Structure 1
């Protein structure tokens, strides 16, 4: 049976952050209850196919803010998955939490449910910056959440941090990093602020109400963080991700390796059997489709082999180790240096790629220009 990464989308938040363009809503209990029931119905529609062909390797409960809803809803969803899907070989179950909504009761229930990885949406330990980006928590809330998780015996804890924020300096960012590495965290994700249309930050930037760091300052924040985290025991394994030994995110490795994944819930995305598809993004249509026992799919497309190969390369180059030439050949029965000779040589000449006998990977310079390199491999 093939491994499957299962993503479950919980689209509820206490409040939308100023930079966020994810599908999320403020949910009352009756709304959450209804959505949970329909999530389970969607999961049930895939039961026969998944049970026959796949074994779940990882589950990621994301959002939104899953910790913003009552823990019994999470329990109900996982109980259905455990009872109806091949779940004996699950290595990792992650739930995203925010310090402002995680409680001892919720964390204890998560552990009882079999959740073994917690991803905390921290973003910063600077209270001034947290307030300026619309977060509902402060640094004390984070430390309290961290203590709760450690006291309960959670060993695999990750935090998300952001840089390139309005009025954030390199020194501000490093103060957070210096405090973070003092904790017993297994994983750290770093994300540069990207202004997405439709967000408050996008609007404010157009109106000159916020001042962002320059591109040079943003890159210096990133490169200094890479150096600092490497010096403090965190292996840089993907452009935005760092892990202690054996703590890479199993779910995300499935995405970057273009392994099968199934997304459940509104606006979730899937990649199964050479098909890519995404769900509708509104509750009304989602519920209507499921009431008719139909998959709530908004768009679907077959992935031609040449596109599948290109995506494998593009996503594989996000990994610091790069693309394993032998794995590529075994998967596609092709020699990567033969079919992409011109693209590889061009980017090596430009200082963006480097290769040895076994791997092709981005250089340090290439990490900053990954999007430019990707364009050369699109069919």
Structure 2
């Protein structure tokens, strides 16, 4: 099996917190990029002719900013060049105010069967503080249009610990979103990344400056975190990964590809891949990418940071990626992959984490509730 990620780097404008590879562009530049992207997808197909594609994820940026015809051509090219499983999961990320009913209906007709809507909040003041281009009404309208267009698998992205946000207002957002019954909710805390406008505005989030300038206190952020799991569980959502919740059977298959270390191929500017324990990234330089695949060229080399993972690195990833999942990692699967008992490789680490109440052990090793709270620390223990 193979998963495919396609990166669309364009957005209407950069959000104040965003450090993703994304930027505004003219319609002409989008058209030129889309043509090069199609050429890359076609050119690389021979590498995967023996694979069945089980999931596709169009991410960004804001993929829905492209003209619908470009998205349809991407879908047509994928269908023509790759073999698909019988029931693939095909997701596109959308901003609420970049879609309408016609666009959503055409996505559905093209074979896209899952939407990921970047709501972040349903409080207009919080959306303005984030620099989002939509308001709450745009989100609700987009959600209902998606249902009318036939989408029965929708994710909603939500963020907590936002500027000016209180726990009460965050819980109000949770209540309104769960009332819509999306199949999946991604709920995560704002991270202040260096190099973003938010970093200049708030500095280090852990420092006092952030609180002084309007970010929630550590205690309030903690309350939001705890209430997220509680309220979503009450609404029927199962937490299957640190930041992801789903109705039964609606976990995101594409995302679990990453956490379970299955193979995925990335196309487009800056896209990452991991195939047969080799990792690489496409160039993040637009001109280099266009020089490789633009203007009808059929051969290009945009791969950078190529790394063949050794056995120890594969073990590390098996542990720290797999532990993101609520189900944890399987001792039997570890042995099948590496022909070694997990205890032989990580015995002292496992015992230390068990003694500190950070993991549960058995046939599977998984984080406790406390372990999820300090997951970065736990996962760091598995690095050689």
Q: Does 2:221 correspond to 1:223?
A: no
Match of residue 266 from structure 2: 263
Q: For the Cα contact (< 8 Å) 2:105–2:150, is it kept in 1?
A: no
**Cα-to-partner distance string for 1:10-60 (whole Å, 9 max, x where unaligned):** 1110111100011112122211111111111111222111113x1100000
User: What SS does structure 2 have at the residue aligned with 1:277?
Assistant: strand
- Matching residue within 265, 281, 285 for 2:284: 281
Q: For the Cα contact (< 8 Å) 1:56–1:90, is it kept in 2?
A: no
Q: Aligned runs of 1:1-379 on 2, under 5 Å?
A: 3-52=1-50, 54-206=51-203, 210-290=213-293, 291=297, 293-356=299-362, 358-379=363-384
Q: Distance in 2 between matches of 1:237 and 1:216?
A: 25
Q: For the Cα contact (< 8 Å) 2:242–2:326, is it kept in 1?
A: yes
User: What SS does structure 2 have at the residue aligned with 1:89?
Assistant: strand
User: How far off is 1:337 after superposition?
Assistant: 1.8
Q: Distance in 1 between matches of 2:202 and 2:171?
A: 24
Q: For the Cα contact (< 8 Å) 1:163–1:218, is it kept in 2?
A: yes
**Cα-to-partner distance string for 1:105-147 (whole Å, 9 max, x where unaligned):** 1101100001000000000000110111101111111111111
Q: For the Cα contact (< 8 Å) 2:39–2:298, is it kept in 1?
A: no
**Cα-to-partner distance string for 1:184-237 (whole Å, 9 max, x where unaligned):** 210000111111111110111138683222333222211111011011100000
Q: Distance in 1 between matches of 2:272 and 2:87?
A: 20
User: What SS does structure 2 have at the residue aligned with 1:21?
Assistant: coil
Q: Distance in 2 between matches of 1:305 and 1:45?
A: 30
Q: Distance in 2 between matches of 1:328 and 1:9?
A: 32
Q: For the Cα contact (< 8 Å) 1:56–1:89, is it kept in 2?
A: no
User: How far off is 1:319 after superposition?
Assistant: 0.4
User: How far off is 1:88 after superposition?
Assistant: 4.1
User: How far off is 1:292 after superposition?
Assistant: 7.6
Q: Distance in 2 between matches of 1:292 and 1:259?
A: 28
The alignment covers a number of residue pairs equal to: 375
Deviates more, 1:230-239 or 1:280-289: 280-289
Q: Distance in 1 between matches of 2:185 and 2:234?
A: 14
User: How far off is 1:89 after superposition?
Assistant: 3.3
User: How far off is 1:76 after superposition?
Assistant: 0.6
Q: Distance in 2 between matches of 1:47 and 1:101?
A: 30
* TM-score (norm. length: structure 2): 0.95
Q: For the Cα contact (< 8 Å) 2:116–2:157, is it kept in 1?
A: yes
* TM-score (norm. length: structure 1): 0.96
Q: For the Cα contact (< 8 Å) 1:156–1:186, is it kept in 2?
A: yes
Q: For the Cα contact (< 8 Å) 1:42–1:295, is it kept in 2?
A: no
User: What SS does structure 1 have at the residue aligned with 2:34?
Assistant: helix
User: How far off is 1:288 after superposition?
Assistant: 1.7
- Runs (5+) with no aligned partner, structure 1: none
